[in-house]
């Protein structure tokens, strides 16, 4: 049986387990008496629970320091623990079943361990007359007590199940000047406040509870006691004590811990679990988790009261046996950073995905991914390890040669490549202008290289150049440079290495050119280089075609000069066609086709082109008509805005006028631009008609007033048939030499100029004329589906108007961005 031994200096006292718990305090009933006020009373108790001793604080007003820190609740006593209460220091030594307390009181008043503070009893036999008086007073005292006391029943309940505790319950009541007699299960107490202490085996002691007795004759008071923890013995098959480091205990989902193991290693917790942890009474869920077994879980009811309960679990293996063999043998088997064995070996792997790796010096790591099912053994086929790749350095003169290994491009020299040893590899080293090197290589192992004192293999090659014959012609006197060095002056012949050559061609006053070429070793080459003036170079750099946001194609028209108008004696000439010498100085774009109904309706959705004698002109692909000049100008501005270009027209007093200087936005072509494009004849003079210089029109030359229009028009072209009584699809007939469609026929076209009769001028050149600055009508150019006369079919014919007509449409034009930038810089 356990006992507690108390030592104070050279005095000692032993208390058997039957008298537990022991009391520490300042009152006279304390087993360990410490200095201090008698009013402080009981400070703490020590009781044995299971195989451990529990220190419980009973008076929170007394400061108790455990190992230097304030203790307010309970504490499992360990050897070496030390408590300070008032001026007393108590050291504990837990020796097996017994507990040794060493007491040292450092106050001036040092009561011995066993003395009780008591007043000296002085009894003298002075006068028997006092005896009678005392007896009388006692009788009065007890009579007053019995007649004024209240019958108080005190029931002690189990806090957990609320049942009455009837076995060995001890109730101690203090306070007041009268006895606390227990008669028939009820205590006789006078009105007032009392301190109560309740003890029962298997329960925590309830200290210093205060009860208030009122004036009622009979009163019932209930108290609840909390059960002491119970010990849970866990038994597993197989015994989990055999794999000490491979399990964890969880109580109600939380990992088990204990105050007694704070700041100690995990072994402390493991030991507590194996010995049987102490758990508070009540329903608990316990779960054991293992490294190699499936977790087990069970709901239990902990009885507590220092009782021990046993629970058994059958453990189910969560692993499978895996046989691993490698070629060569002796490879270490790793699962992450954990080494499991050396091949050949049988290892155990936990259920689920396992990523293994075989490692052996001189060989590449061999990864293995296994999906393990518990208790289903696996035997892997022999795993062949690959030797570590060997570094191969390839150096060539000159550098920059391409290296291919086994038909795979690896880079340019100098280069280091990792190759598998003891295997044939096809090596090709190539560089334009040099002969290829083809070689079969087989590298030694890392051990073989080390034995020769080498860390890598090195191959060095001098490449043999291949040459080609090149003749340069073109701009005489132009100098050709390579990498800053002059190699010749045009014309000249030279032998060059057959690799890509980057050459610069230069001559004063001309724009330099950079050319790339590769001499061919199999036949001579002739390279022609013609340098341009700065102006020629600018024009050459301008895109030859342009697409609008509506997918309308526009062609670049280069500058040139011509005589605009008609000679005086020319057949069909009108008086408003006076000749003028005109020069177009700026390149510009012009639409290859007339604007269609579909394109115009994107700007004005409700537009209709009408009909002629029930002949519909609103077909989507036909040129739009019944469009006023202002509508055409507004369309141009709208199209510019779609592409974030500066609009070409501004609205002044309700009328559109061309901005000066002219922007790069979309606009109508000027009359001069229109006539320059229409009369272009490839350097053979100004063309008179859309098809040539004489009547009648040739077949498929355009949509004019042909025989199909006889039901609509009075005058038609005899012996000509184009198949379209009114408009035809834009671009239906052949274009002119510049690739522009329908400059004659289909519909006449608005141009940008105000209408006026020009003065004949053949001495001075007009540069880029755009017509008068003011006017009432706008010029209309070109013939239409309504025209058949010699006069109107001519390109020089000039008409005018402002409102839309069934035979008048338009096409768009604009300046190039380069030309517009020049105008902005000049301004």
The reported pLDDT for the residue numbered 124 is: 40
In terms of Cβ atoms closer than 10 Å to its own Cβ (0-12, 13-18, 19+), residue 749 is: buried
Q: Where are the domains of the chain?
A: 3-105, 134-225, 230-314, 319-384, 390-462, 467-537, 542-822
Phi/psi at 18 (5° precision): -65, -25
Structure-block tokens of residue 665: 């936005």
The reported pLDDT for the residue numbered 128 is: 64
Domains 134-225 and 230-314 share a fold: yes
Token look-up 């012949």 returns: 493
pLDDT level of residue 299 (50, 70, 90 thresholds): very high
The reported pLDDT for the residue numbered 493 is: 95
Instruction: Pick the closest to residue 629 from 743, 744, 749, 548 (CA basis).
Output: 749
What are the tens digits of pLDDT across the range 516-533? Answer: 989 998 889 999 999 999
What are the tens digits of pLDDT across the range 535-573? Answer: 888 888 899 999 999 999 999 999 999 999 999 889 999
Topology of the domain covering 390-462: Immunoglobulin-like (2.60.40)
What are the tens digits of pLDDT across the range 708-742? Answer: 998 899 899 988 999 999 999 999 999 999 999 99
Instruction: Pick the closest to residue 550 from 612, 626, 601 (CA basis).
Output: 601
What are the tens digits of pLDDT across the range 247-257? Answer: 888 999 888 87
The reported pLDDT for the residue numbered 123 is: 36
Number of other residues whose CB lies within 10 A of the CB of residue 495: 12
The reported pLDDT for the residue numbered 819 is: 58
In the predicted structure, residue 103 carries a pLDDT above the cut 60:
yes
In terms of Cβ atoms closer than 10 Å to its own Cβ (0-12, 13-18, 19+), residue 192 is: middle
Where does residue 41 fall: left (phi above 0), alpha (psi -120 to 50 degrees), or beta otherwise?
Answer: left
**71 contacts 83 by C-beta, under 8 angstroms:** yes
- Compute the mean pLDDT over every residue in the chain, rounded to the nearest whole number: 88
Which 8-state DSSP code applies to residue 709?
G
- Domain at 467-537, CATH class: mainly beta
The pTM assigned to this predicted structure is 0.47
What are the tens digits of pLDDT across the range 649-707? Answer: 999 988 999 999 999 999 999 999 999 999 988 765 688 999 988 899 998 899 999 99
What are the tens digits of pLDDT across the range 305-332? Answer: 889 999 998 999 999 999 999 999 999 9
Structure-block tokens of residue 699: 């077949």
Question: What's the CATH number for 3-105?
Answer: 2.60.200.20
CA angle 350, 352, 354 (to 5 degrees): 75
The reported pLDDT for the residue numbered 681 is: 83
In the predicted structure, residue 88 carries a pLDDT above the cut 60:
yes
* Contacts for 806 with CB less than 8 Å, ≥ 6 apart: 609, 610, 612, 617, 625, 626, 726, 786
542-822 placed in CATH 3.90.1150.10: no
Superfamily of domain 319-384: Carboxypeptidase-like, regulatory domain (2.60.40.1120)
The mean pLDDT of 12-35, rounded to a whole number, is 85
pLDDT level of residue 115 (50, 70, 90 thresholds): very low
What are the tens digits of pLDDT across the range 147-172? Answer: 778 888 888 999 888 899 877 888 88
* Assigned architecture for domain 230-314: Sandwich (2.60)
pLDDT level of residue 219 (50, 70, 90 thresholds): confident
The reported pLDDT for the residue numbered 129 is: 66
Structural Rg of the chain based on CA atoms: 58
pLDDT level of residue 463 (50, 70, 90 thresholds): very high
Pick the CATH number of 134-225 from 1.10.10.10, 3.10.20.90, 3.50.50.60, 2.60.40.1120: 2.60.40.1120
């Amino acid at each position: 049986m356990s006992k507690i031994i108390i030592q104070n200096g050279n005095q000692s006292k032993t208390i058997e387990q039957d008298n537990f718990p022991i009391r520490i305090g300042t009152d006279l009933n304390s087993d360990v008496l410490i200095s201090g006020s008698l009013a402080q009373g009981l400070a703490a108790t020590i009781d044995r629970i299971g195989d451990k001793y529990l220190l419980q604080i009973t008076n929170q007003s007394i400061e108790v320091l455990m190992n230097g820190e304030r203790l307010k609740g309970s504490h499992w006593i360990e050897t070496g623990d030390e408590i300070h209460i008032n001026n007393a220091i108590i050291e504990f030594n837990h020796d097996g079943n017994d507990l040794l307390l060493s007491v040292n009181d450092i106050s001036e008043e040092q009561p011995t361990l066993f003395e009780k503070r008591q007043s000296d009893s002085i009894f003298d036999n002075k006068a028997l007359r006092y005896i009678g008086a005392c007896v009388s007073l006692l009788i009065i005292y007890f009579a007053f007590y019995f007649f004024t006391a209240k019958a108080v029943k005190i029931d002690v309940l189990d806090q957990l199940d609320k049942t009455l505790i009837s076995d060995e319950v001890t109730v101690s009541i203090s306070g007041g000047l009268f006895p606390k007699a227990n008669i028939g299960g009820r205590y006789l107490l006078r009105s007032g406040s009392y301190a109560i202490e309740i003890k029962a085996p298997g329960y925590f002691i309830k200290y210093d509870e205060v009860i208030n007795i009122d004036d009622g004759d009979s009163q019932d008071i209930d108290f609840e006691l909390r059960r002491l923890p119970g010990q849970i013995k866990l038994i597993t098959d197989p015994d989990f004590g055999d794999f000490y480091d491979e399990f964890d205990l969880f109580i109600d989902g939380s990992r088990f811990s204990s105050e007694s193991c704070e700041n100690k290693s995990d072994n402390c917790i493991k030991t507590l679990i194996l010995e049987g942890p102490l758990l508070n009474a009540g329903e608990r869920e316990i779960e054991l988790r293992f490294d190699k077994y499936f977790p087990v879980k069970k709901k239990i009811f902990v009885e507590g009261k220092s009782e021990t309960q046993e629970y058994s679990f059958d453990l189910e293996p969560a692993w499978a046996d895996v046989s691993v063999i490698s070629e060569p043998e002796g490879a270490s088997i790793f699962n992450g950073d954990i080494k499991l064995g050396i091949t050949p070996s049988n290892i155990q792997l936990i259920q689920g995905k396992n990523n293994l790796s075989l490692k052996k010096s001189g060989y590449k790591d061999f990864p293995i991914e296994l999906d393990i099912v518990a208790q289903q053994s696996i035997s892997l086929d022999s795993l062949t390890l690959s030797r570590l790749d060997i570094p191969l350095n390839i150096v060539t003169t000159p550098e920059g040669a391409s290296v291919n290994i086994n038909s795979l491009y690896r880079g340019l020299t100098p280069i280091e490549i990792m190759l598998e040893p003891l295997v044939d590899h096809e090596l090709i080293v190539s560089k334009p202008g040099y002969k290829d090197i083809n070689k079969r290589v087989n590298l030694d192992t890392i051990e073989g290289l080390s034995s020769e004192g080498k860390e890598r293999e090195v191959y060095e090659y001098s490449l043999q150049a291949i040459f080609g014959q090149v003749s340069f012609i073109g701009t005489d006197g132009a100098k050709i440079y390579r990498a800053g060095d002059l190699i010749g002056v045009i014309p000249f012949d030279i032998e060059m290495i057959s690799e890509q050559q980057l050459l610069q061609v230069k001559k004063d006053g001309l724009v330099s050119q950079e050319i790339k070429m590769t001499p061919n070793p199999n036949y001579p080459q002739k390279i022609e280089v013609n340098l341009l003036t700065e102006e020629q170079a600018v024009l050459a750099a301008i895109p030859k075609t342009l697409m609008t946001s509506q997918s309308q194609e526009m062609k670049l028209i280069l500058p040139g000069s011509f005589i605009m108008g008609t000679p005086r004696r020319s057949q069909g000439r009108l008086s408003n066609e006076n000749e003028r010498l005109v020069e177009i100085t700026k390149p510009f774009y012009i639409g290859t086709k007339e604007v269609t109904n579909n394109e115009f309706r994107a700007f004005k959705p409700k537009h209709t082109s009408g009909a002629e004698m029930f002949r519909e002109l609103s077909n989507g692909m036909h040129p739009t008509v019944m469009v006023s000049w202002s509508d055409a100008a507004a369309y141009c501005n709208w199209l510019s805005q779609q592409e974030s270009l500066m609009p070409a027209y501004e609205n002044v007093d309700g009328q559109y006028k061309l901005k000066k200087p002219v922007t790069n936005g979309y606009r109508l072509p000027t009359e001069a631009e229109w006539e320059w494009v229409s009369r272009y004849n490839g350097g053979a003079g100004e063309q008179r008609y859309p098809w040539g210089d004489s009547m009648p029109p040739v077949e498929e030359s355009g949509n004019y007033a042909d025989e199909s229009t006889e039901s609509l028009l009075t005058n038609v072209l005899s012996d000509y048939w184009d198949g379209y009584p009114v408009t035809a699809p834009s671009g239906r007939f052949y274009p002119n030499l510049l690739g522009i469609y329908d400059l004659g026929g289909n519909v006449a076209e608005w141009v940008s100029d105000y209408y006026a009769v020009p003065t004949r001028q053949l001495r001075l050149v007009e540069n880029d004329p755009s017509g008068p600055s003011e006017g009432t009508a706008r010029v209309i150019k070109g013939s239409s589906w309504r025209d058949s006369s010699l006069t109107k079919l001519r390109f020089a014919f000039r008409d005018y108007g402002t409102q839309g007509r069934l035979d008048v449409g338009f096409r768009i034009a604009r300046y190039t961005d380069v030309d517009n930038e020049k105008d902005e810089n000049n301004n």
